[in-house]
Structure 1
């Protein structure tokens, strides 16, 4: 393990340990308990009541308990992956993190198929599946969940009350269709822990994105961390235009939800130069 990655791992542990803190557990709450959302308003702080179904979805043991991996990939969704030919290389990693339930079908050559740990912002239910306005959209969502094939689905369920029904829909679908996936729901405190960690570093990132969350987890669990699809620009180093996401025509932006992606890219670039990760921003060797 590179020294800089070891330093990162030890410092992360001062704030939280993904092996034990990655999700709320059944033993930590019970049906009827209230959980407060991270968002707050001037005169009130919204909460949700833990249902029996939701309690059943919580893991009984930490999903990453006692886990350690030699080589991990953290895969973002930048258009830089389009025609990259990185799929086979990504799938050689011992553990693969993916961000925000991205589309894989039709893109396997560029992004691979392995999905050990996948985040899903509940907002994707509207952004990409239009709240199931058409039956085929619901079918596509179910098919996408099935491709996780026993992997961990990490759902930030307590960020905004407005996403409560999307979390419930997802859980209901997993149960009704007997989808083979392990669910994990970070405590509302998780965002505080990660923010405090990054503010304690020389980089002082104000609001880390899900990609930065995944790197933080990987740095704590893996001897090597390779980043793919973390490129928040609309032109590559050869002057070619690239899409915001490799799988959709969403308008390009460097700021989404308060995350400053170009600043995060500079952080990753600095960590790459120090040997704490390997940042892939070109075609992979197998495709050349």
Structure 2
């Protein structure tokens, strides 16, 4: 009887010892991994396909194990439920891919649909030989402002910036050939794994948007000034509301709470960026923080980010005035979330090429080299800021992450209790470095607190 008790005690001690050793190894590797992750991001603008450096993470198998552990334990870095559903991999080997879309004569659309590709088939972001090829607009904005950011001589910016990139998608944007090209890229950067018929059915209702999206005030010849307002806690107590509202146009996204915070964040909203998920979840979540409804300023322009298949189901219902027929928003009526006088010509759907261009050239994250690559995407705030860079002459950014972000709460409307949480989904450190570089190059003016 005593010997059995001794054996049990020995077994428990062995298990405890192994657990402690594994934990210590995990913590040691995690620190090394964080250091590598930081080193891989301090390069500023990365970013054409041929110019992007290889991440220091590529050959670190132990770090990959740590990343998997964090996905399971949600320790330090987290994934949200909707992102796990949208993008996790089954661990198959990455393909080495060379492929060029088939050429066809102008005016012909006789190609057949290519077989579906799926995110689960790739262990990291697949690289195609046309990865850095993007469609261009046939209505480029004419520059009349002598102070326009487009006149910047910064070498990194001018190398990567495409002023004629196609910003928006509409009913004539997607031929079969274009579908096949974009089907090589995961959402929101393309149509990988999507149903052609359902996406095209949704796009059919979207007319060609009014461009340029923004014009100079008054005689239409001057500079277009824009404020892009994020939700970072750095705005709490800032008193920047009047300055923000003084711009020609104000970009906001997600919750965009202004009621009760006008002194710090202003009240005007000219351009509102959203996804179906951010629109529905924000309205229910932010009510307790004073958000009765989303901005409905006269002449407001709504810009949708097609972050998932569910967004096309949303669009189909929005433009037909019906309930969503399938997916996570089934039985919701999208028209209730917008102004009653929604002008379809003032509704914009971002082009996947534009989103991929941002990722490839300005916001290249080391996270794209891992099995969770398919959920890594720019924040809605980052998309709003780059949209402003392509539609405005002067861009000022407020409420975006800065190097001293630890001093401030996560958002301006939650007080001082909650600190910033990093998720796999969005690479805030890469974005922080991008904002710093844009500010230092005098392309944007990034609001930063000057404490006495």
After TM superposition, the score normalised by the length of structure 1 is 0.70
- The correspondence of residues 17-36 of structure 1 with structure 2, limited to 5 A, is 17=165, 21-28=166-173
SS of the residue corresponding to residue 275 of structure 1 reads coil
2:394 corresponds to which residue?
224
Cα distance, 1:113 vs structure 2: 1.8
2:425 corresponds to which residue?
258
Cα distance change on mapping 1:273 and 1:208 into 2, 3 Å? same
**Partners of 2:298 and 2:398 in 1: how far apart?**
22
1:190 has 2:354 as partner:
yes
Larger % of strand: which?
1
Contact 2:214 2:391 in 1 (8 A): no
Farther-moved stretch of structure 1 (64-73 vs 271-280): 64-73
Cα distance change on mapping 1:231 and 1:170 into 2, 3 Å? farther
Cα distance, 1:183 vs structure 2: 1.5
- The structure 2 residue matched to 1:154, chosen from 270, 278, 303, is 303
Cα distance, 1:39 vs structure 2: 3.6
Cα distance, 1:131 vs structure 2: 9.1
SS of the residue corresponding to residue 28 of structure 1 reads coil
Contact 2:254 2:273 in 1 (8 A): yes
- The structure 2 residue matched to 1:109, chosen from 263, 269, 282, is 263
1:268 corresponds to which residue?
435
SS of the residue corresponding to residue 73 of structure 1 reads strand
Provide the aligned C-alpha RMSD in A.
4.1
Aligned residues: 259
1:84 has 2:238 as partner:
yes
**Partners of 2:215 and 2:159 in 1: how far apart?**
16
Bigger CA radius of gyration:
2
* Residue segments in structure 2 that go unaligned for 5+ positions in a row: 1-146, 217-222, 318-331, 369-376
**Partners of 1:11 and 1:67 in 2: how far apart?**
24
1:144 corresponds to which residue?
294
1:48-95 CA deviation, whole Å, 9 max, x = no partner?
Answer: 34447x644x24334435746442211111011112111100011122
Cα distance change on mapping 1:278 and 1:253 into 2, 3 Å? same
Cα distance change on mapping 1:151 and 1:55 into 2, 3 Å? farther
Cα distance change on mapping 1:25 and 1:3 into 2, 3 Å? closer
SS of the residue corresponding to residue 178 of structure 1 reads coil
1:244 corresponds to which residue?
410
Contact 1:152 1:183 in 2 (8 A): yes
Cα distance change on mapping 1:28 and 1:259 into 2, 3 Å? same
- The correspondence of residues 166-205 of structure 1 with structure 2, limited to 5 A, is 168=317, 169=332, 171-173=334-336, 177-179=340-342, 182-198=346-362
SS of the residue corresponding to residue 341 of structure 2 reads coil
Q: Which has the higher contact order (CA 8 A, sep 6+)?
A: 1
Cα distance, 1:218 vs structure 2: 2.5
1:277 corresponds to which residue?
444
2:229 corresponds to which residue?
75
1:61 corresponds to which residue?
209
Cα distance, 1:121 vs structure 2: 2.6
Contact 1:145 1:179 in 2 (8 A): no
